[in-house]
Structure 1
Amino acid sequence: MDVGRLVAGRYRLRGRVGAGAMGVVWQALDERLDRVVALKQLVVPEGADPVAAVGRAAREARIAARLQHPNAVTVHDVVQDEGKPVLVMEYLPARTLAELIARGPLPAERVATIGAQVAGALAAAHAAGIVHRDVKPGNVLLTDDGTAKITDFGIARAVGDVTVTRTGLLAGTPAFLSPEVARGGEPVHASDVFALGGTLYAAVEGRPPFGDGDNAIALLHAVAAGRFPPPTRAGPLTDVLAELLRTDPAARPTMAQAADRLRALTATRPAATRLDLNPADLAPRPPDRSPAAPPTAPAPAWSADPQRAHPTALAPRPARTGRVGLVAVAAAAVVGLVVLALVLTNGNRSADDTAGASAPAPSATTAASAPGDDPGPARLEQAVAEYYALLPKNTAQAWDRLGPGLRAQGRPQYEKSWREVKALTVSSPPATAGADTVTVGIDLTGPGGGKTRESHRLRLVVQGGTPLIDADEVLSSQRIDDADDDHEDKKKDDDRKRGGGKSGEG
């Protein structure tokens, strides 16, 4: 790429902004819309199929584009240039958190400010079924006015970064991986929580939890073991880091809960200096209905250096029933094509926002239903089937079948998210996967006729015996190649014609 060059017929390169392990970033002018954008030309790993890399990048970009949040960099488009994928993103004059850390540790108060914003964006992504997969200081952008934005959603998977290749070699750095991913597991929401903890640890201590040595394999082993020294500069952040960096994924807080913890640390600061908070975050919020960590034996906050015989341990905190980031639930709204908000039957519901100070917080299902209201697996599956039978045409009736978690997005946003969907068919029938969980496969047809096949996990709540779809997680999303289907149909048609001719001649 060179300055002045036109990419994809509309993006005029103005200058190179920076480069990293996954690509080179340019500032460009979108001549069609007359706006400044950032172009990221992704690096295709040596020996990888560039066509497959372009396809992966396009799929990940489509997923990332569903997220619209003030603390997440917006993805506008994905194009090809010289056979390589190029992401078109919001341009943001900013420095990375990694650049700041390179100058020395940051004050704990400032780190809490940054963490509150990033956690809010990630909570919104999680509510929309999006896993970032590569949360690290280099992917956190900071502007001069104190705004923090997370970028590069899903790009690690698109280009094969931070993975073990077919030859057994490690690509990328595992410094901010979670232990379960370092052991070969698939990144999930809890993995992002750990990575955020590692990012904030690095910001306040000046180095990642597991060090930053050049031997990636040795570092991977250290991450997998989950042992690192406790922070010494974290101050009020110490307890929060202990929760985020628990080795057991089930013992970590949800990202929405993490955002709450971090916001609480900034609550005593003067309003004029609270640049970490967005106006939406200051509004009263409904209770967090994400499953709380199980009340099992307390997990070690960290495994300190080997000389310490007794690592620090903290008991899991119960989920807060007060404010739970509006952005977190608002992300459910961002379920653009991903908005597989699931719920059933009419019914305005007022959520039970109160919980006794000493009594354990009720689960989403028990809070909405009385004893004997359990509809059973068949009714849950029927509720999901009936919901999708209404879409994408009857969004008004479908809206009546949503629970409070998905309704938090607002009806205008919900209806907007379905306008780009021209048709929907169920590819895999609803099947219960738990007491309040149903999995389902759907095929979505876009305005241009392109089809996407997605697998979803839906969580339902019950009110008055009626199941309502309250949360939606996208487990997978892939473009369906209609060309093979068309070819097969044509082949069958030709065979029928040939067969008919022969019988006529006989």
Structure 2
Amino acid sequence: MTADRLIAGRYRLADPIGSGAMGVVWRGTDVRLRRTVAVKQLLLASTLSNSQALEAKLRAMREGRIAARLHHPNAITVFDVAEEDGQPWLVMEYMDAPSLAAKLSGKRTLPPIEVARIGAQAAAALAVAHAAGIMHRDVKPANLLVADDGTVKITDFGISRAVGDVTVTATGFLAGTPAYLAPEVARGEDPEPASDVFALGSTLYAAVEGSPPFGEGDNPLAVLHAVARGEVAAPRNAGPLGPVLMRLLAGTVEARLTMQEAKEALEAVAAGRVPELSSVPVVTAILPAPGGDAGATAVLGTSATGASGNATDATEFVPISSPTPPPPTRPGGTLAGLGGGSNPRGPDKQLLGVAAAVVVALLVVIALIVTVQNGGDDSPTAAPPTGGESTNAPVAPSSGAGGGSIMEQPSQTAPGAPPAASASPSASTPPPSSTTAPPPTTPA
């Protein structure tokens, strides 16, 4: 490819200014609008079949449409997707600035505060992209342009995909640079916005430590294996940026900051403030409890963030009971006993009142049961009649004072004393009430 070539009858190429895995970027001129632009030429491997080449072309056209959705001061704008000789070309905003990779060449590093400023600007653009359903999928130092005045712009959304959109991929194609991939992507899982968070963390880690968390060996497969394990050593030169980096580089998606949270945390470090990092969610999945019965379940949790802000990948199994019905709710959706509502006593006093009422009710029931049992043991008239009489016959009154039934008057026998013998009615004993049936007699 030579300079001074006119693409799509409108964009004249000048000189190459960068290259990547998928193409070469040229500085060019939009002859219609008379402005300088960057034109990305897609390079197709000669080993691709016709169908694979068509896939790559369709993919590039999609990439241009996706990237054109994003408009942010810290992102390179895509102006056009042109086609020349059956090949796609992306026409983008031109920025005369070196990449972060160029600044870090030769294992050079940058101060943590400067790295935080760079990361905050990149995170701002990526947060807006994520909100629009766009993932970058290849965040790395080579795709961050850093101007002399400190302005940062992220470029090359060329292998990004819209979340939920139909994807067009080449068989076996691995999107992203291995050294900056997130562990879940290295394990073959689908990327998600949290994968961009990890890649940004790896980029900033390289800026303060001189190399990414898993190194940049000559063997990509070895790097992929290291990435898949997700074991990141704490940075030694990051200073106040260290806790933020470790949250960006957490091994699990749930433990990482969102891109918006990353932006705010990096801005705080750049301003000399202590960042407020959100807590790490404890529950990440519900799994069968190891060694338990079929109905037992367990909660798989991640350990909470320590004082240093470093999140670990340690997990624990906490047995929990079988599913229980949801708690009652008050009108308006407030959980009973959890605050809210119009109860002036507050949820704690209400719970105490309900508990006290339950205890009193239980005591009353117990007292009645004990009373019935004691009365039945102490009064011989409580025994069931013999001789085939009906068990529904009325019970004779007890010999206790008042002449009440055993349901009304418990026995007064002292503990340990033998039960009193039944005495025959005497003149001093009032006759039974006319409403009380005489005691049953035993047939001769």
> TM-score by structure 1 length?
0.53
- With 96-105 and 204-213 compared, the bigger mean Cα shift is at 96-105
Q: 1:294 aligns with which of 281, 284, 288?
A: 281
- Per the alignment, residue 102 of structure 1 pairs with 105
**Pair 1:372 & 2:315 matched:** no
- After TM superposition, the structure 1 = structure 2 runs for residues 18-417 of structure 1, keeping only pairs within 5 Å, are 18-45=18-45, 46-47=47-48, 49-103=52-106, 104-155=108-159, 166=171, 173-268=177-272, 294-296=281-283, 297-299=301-303, 313-314=310-311, 371-372=332-333
Between the aligned partners of 1:108 and 1:229, the Cα distance in structure 2 is 17
- Per the alignment, residue 490 of structure 1 pairs with none
- The number of aligned residues is 288
- Per the alignment, residue 11 of structure 2 pairs with 11
The alpha carbon displacement at 1:262 in A equals: 0.2
Between the aligned partners of 1:261 and 1:107, the Cα distance in structure 2 is 17
- With 72-81 and 168-177 compared, the bigger mean Cα shift is at 168-177
The alpha carbon displacement at 1:43 in A equals: 2.0
Between the aligned partners of 1:300 and 1:95, the Cα distance in structure 2 is 39
- Residue 134 and residue 54 in structure 1: after superposition, are their counterparts in 2 closer, same or farther (change >3 A)? same
Aligned residues: percent identity? 55
Contact 1:164/1:170 (<8 A) preserved: no
- Residue 156 and residue 126 in structure 1: after superposition, are their counterparts in 2 closer, same or farther (change >3 A)? closer
Between the aligned partners of 1:105 and 1:263, the Cα distance in structure 2 is 20
Contact 1:251/1:294 (<8 A) preserved: yes
- Residue 7 and residue 267 in structure 1: after superposition, are their counterparts in 2 closer, same or farther (change >3 A)? same
The alpha carbon displacement at 1:133 in A equals: 0.7
Alignment gaps of 5+ in structure 1: 270-287, 303-310, 317-369, 375-506
Question: Deviations for 1:382-423, whole angstroms, at most 9, x for unmatched residues?
Answer: xxxxxxxxxxxxxxxxxxxxxxxxxxxxxxxxxxxxxxxxxx
Determine helix, strand or coil for the equivalent of 1:95.
coil
Between the aligned partners of 1:183 and 1:73, the Cα distance in structure 2 is 30
Contact 1:30/1:37 (<8 A) preserved: yes
Between the aligned partners of 2:95 and 2:105, the Cα distance in structure 1 is 21
Contact 2:55/2:169 (<8 A) preserved: no
- Residue 244 and residue 300 in structure 1: after superposition, are their counterparts in 2 closer, same or farther (change >3 A)? farther
Contact 1:201/1:231 (<8 A) preserved: yes
Between the aligned partners of 1:85 and 1:157, the Cα distance in structure 2 is 17
- Per the alignment, residue 411 of structure 2 pairs with none
Contact 2:137/2:176 (<8 A) preserved: no
- Residue 60 and residue 170 in structure 1: after superposition, are their counterparts in 2 closer, same or farther (change >3 A)? closer
AA aligned opposite 1:62 = R
AA aligned opposite 1:294 = P
Contact 1:173/1:216 (<8 A) preserved: no
Determine helix, strand or coil for the equivalent of 1:32.
coil
Question: Deviations for 1:219-248, whole angstroms, at most 9, x for unmatched residues?
Answer: 111100112322111111100011000000
Between the aligned partners of 2:132 and 2:334, the Cα distance in structure 1 is 28
The alpha carbon displacement at 1:315 in A equals: 7.9
Contact 2:281/2:304 (<8 A) preserved: no
Determine helix, strand or coil for the equivalent of 2:244.
helix
- Residue 170 and residue 154 in structure 1: after superposition, are their counterparts in 2 closer, same or farther (change >3 A)? closer
> TM-score by structure 2 length?
0.60
- Higher-Rg member (1/2): 2
The alpha carbon displacement at 1:152 in A equals: 1.1
Determine helix, strand or coil for the equivalent of 2:114.
helix
Between the aligned partners of 1:43 and 1:300, the Cα distance in structure 2 is 46
Question: Deviations for 1:354-406, whole angstroms, at most 9, x for unmatched residues?
Answer: xxxxxxxxxxxxxxxx94399xxxxxxxxxxxxxxxxxxxxxxxxxxxxxxxx
AA aligned opposite 2:14 = R
Between the aligned partners of 1:164 and 1:52, the Cα distance in structure 2 is 7
Between the aligned partners of 1:300 and 1:164, the Cα distance in structure 2 is 38
Question: Deviations for 1:25-72, whole angstroms, at most 9, x for unmatched residues?
Answer: 111111111111000102224415222212111112111111100000
RMSD: 3.1
Contact 1:131/1:154 (<8 A) preserved: no
Determine helix, strand or coil for the equivalent of 1:122.
helix
Alignment gaps of 5+ in structure 2: 163-167, 284-300, 314-330, 336-444
- Residue 262 and residue 121 in structure 1: after superposition, are their counterparts in 2 closer, same or farther (change >3 A)? same
Question: Deviations for 1:11-32, whole angstroms, at most 9, x for unmatched residues?
Answer: 0112221222221111111111
Contact 1:170/1:216 (<8 A) preserved: no
- Residue 57 and residue 101 in structure 1: after superposition, are their counterparts in 2 closer, same or farther (change >3 A)? same
- Structure with the largest fraction of helix: 1
Question: Deviations for 1:112-168, whole angstroms, at most 9, x for unmatched residues?
Answer: 01000000000010111111111111111111111111111142669xxxx9974x6
Between the aligned partners of 1:129 and 1:157, the Cα distance in structure 2 is 9
Contact 1:15/1:27 (<8 A) preserved: yes
Contact 2:244/2:309 (<8 A) preserved: no
Determine helix, strand or coil for the equivalent of 1:250.
coil
Determine helix, strand or coil for the equivalent of 1:76.
strand
- With 65-74 and 83-92 compared, the bigger mean Cα shift is at 83-92
Between the aligned partners of 2:115 and 2:74, the Cα distance in structure 1 is 15
Between the aligned partners of 1:207 and 1:300, the Cα distance in structure 2 is 28
Contact 1:131/1:192 (<8 A) preserved: yes
Which one scores higher on RCO, CA 8 angstroms, separation ≥ 6?
A: 1
AA aligned opposite 2:247 = E
Contact 1:299/1:313 (<8 A) preserved: no
Determine helix, strand or coil for the equivalent of 1:249.
coil
